[in-house]
Amino acid sequence: MTGARANMKRSVWCLITMLWLLLAGSANSALVPTPPAINADSYLLVDFDTGAVLVEHNPDLQLPPASLTKLMTAYILAQEVELGRLGLNDVVPVSRNAWSQNPVFEGSSLMWIEPGKPVTVAELERGIVISSGNDATVAIAEHIAGSEAAFVDLMNRYAEEMGLTGTHFENSHGLPHPEHLSTARDLALTAAAAIRNHPERYAVYKEQSYTYNDITQYNRNHLLREDDSVDGLKTGYTSVAGYGLVASAKREGMRLISVVMGSSSTSSRKSETRSLLNYGFRFYETATPVRGGAELAQGRVWKGRASQVALGVTTDIVLTLPRIAAEIKPTVEIDAPLIAPLRVGDVVGRVVLTRAGEPVGEAMLEVLEAVESAGFFARLWDTIVLWFQQLLG
């Protein structure tokens, strides 16, 4: 199965999962209370593994993201490292535009880099993620793309490729510009991409402090020091944007991503994020009732070199469900007849998942092992048998 085909099937499955979450019967939904009221212009809580939305308020409202912009800047840095076009130990020249004394940066967050003083990509990465340095973003932007303007074009191309339909960048750092906008949904997608695609680089987001140029700065995501399950991501603030925080936490195998935009203070964005995460972990769970490659049934094969074939799913079935103490049970429905040749991944029916007597999900039933066509006489015989069965059935 090609990667594109697998991704398409996963996307379809995630959509089905979210629909089942919305349409599940009362036995599963009645136990979940109304989400907490959050003091912010926009917010979102999603399950990292399934994309299921647990809480939302104005998730597609375009707002100034402030330093939450740096999620994309850091993501592109990570991409360049993975592609081999950028080394963590590469020394980056600091231009006057990237100098911390540039008047554009006055009063904003800085790493305190300066022309003539060596700084590496790894140091700039921490300056962006931990210190939220606007000077660091310009330095890495110029180093990667030649100019900040060219890097911003790259940011917007990444946004388009990632499906961030409500996002437009005008700079690499997030200082105010009337057309520099994003949404809670887009920021959640960017955070998920950072976690999924670059786990080694994502580890930097959990670091609580960073010292450069004899100046120690502390990660502004205060939840890192108060909740061991939180391991990222980024804060943001300008007078125009208000206070924002994109956070992620993992507890007992479940990872959630929360986004808060347009909150009123640092303490407010922290408490609001904590409320969202606690709500999600307390009342929902990420369940994997069926593993990819596990046999769920045997199917009768006609006109094949084998008379039986193993059936199941080729990728894990992952569901976001309200927490209740009840087993999730799979039921297999096979489309008949199964006629060779069969390839791994061929869809031959469906898997229906139920819990406490209520449907909670559905997936495509797939062939787990290839079956080649039989010889002429075996095919002829099965054709005759099938014809009689259909005639009598």
pLDDT tens by residue, 129-186 = 999 999 999 999 999 999 999 999 999 999 999 999 999 999 999 999 999 999 999 9
Q: Is 70 one of the catalytic residues?
A: yes
Q: Are residues 64 and 186 in the same domain?
A: yes
Q: Return the HEC string of the chain.
A: CCHHHHHHHHHHHHHHHHHHHHHCCHHHHCCCCCCCCCCCCEEEEEECCCCCEEEEECCCCCECCHHHHHHHHHHHHHHHHHCCCCCCCCECCCCCCCCCCCHHHCCCCCCCCCCCCCCEHHHHHHHHHCCCCHHHHHHHHHHHHCCHHHHHHHHHHHHHHCCCCCCECCCCCCCCCCCCEECHHHHHHHHHHHHHHCHHHHHHHHCCEEEECCEEEECCCHHHHCCCCEEEEEEEEECCCEEEEEEEEEECCEEEEEEEEEECCHHHHHHHHHHHHHHHHHHEEEEEEECCCCEEEEEEEECECCCEEEEECCCCEEEEEECCCCCEEEEEEECCCEECCECCCCEEEEEEEEECCEEEEEEEEEECCCECECCHHHHHHHHHHHHHHHHHC
Q: Are residues 185 and 327 in the same domain?
A: no
Q: Are residues 226 and 90 in the same domain?
A: yes
Q: Which of 9, 42, 67, 234 is catalytic?
A: 67
Q: Which of 9, 42, 70, 182 is catalytic?
A: 70
Query: Is 58 domain-assigned?
Result: yes
Q: Are residues 152 and 249 in the same domain?
A: yes
Query: Is 364 domain-assigned?
Result: yes
The pTM (predicted TM-score) of the whole model is 0.87
Q: Domain boundary residue among 250, 285, 320?
A: 285
Query: Is 182 domain-assigned?
Result: yes
Q: Which of 108, 109, 131, 132 is catalytic?
A: 132
- State how many domains the chain has: 2
Q: How confident is the model at residue 12 (pLDDT cuts 50, 70, 90)?
A: very low
pLDDT tens by residue, 64-81 = 999 999 999 999 999 999
Q: Are residues 39 and 86 in the same domain?
A: yes
Q: Are residues 268 and 303 in the same domain?
A: no
Q: Residue 376 is part of a domain; what is its CATH number?
A: 2.60.410.10
Q: How confident is the model at residue 193 (pLDDT cuts 50, 70, 90)?
A: very high
Q: How confident is the model at residue 389 (pLDDT cuts 50, 70, 90)?
A: confident
Q: Residue 266 is part of a domain; what is its CATH number?
A: 3.40.710.10
Query: Is 103 domain-assigned?
Result: yes
Q: Are residues 259 and 340 in the same domain?
A: no
Its domain, for residue 385, covers 291-392
Q: Domain boundary residue among 285, 304, 320?
A: 285
Mean pLDDT across 281-309: 95
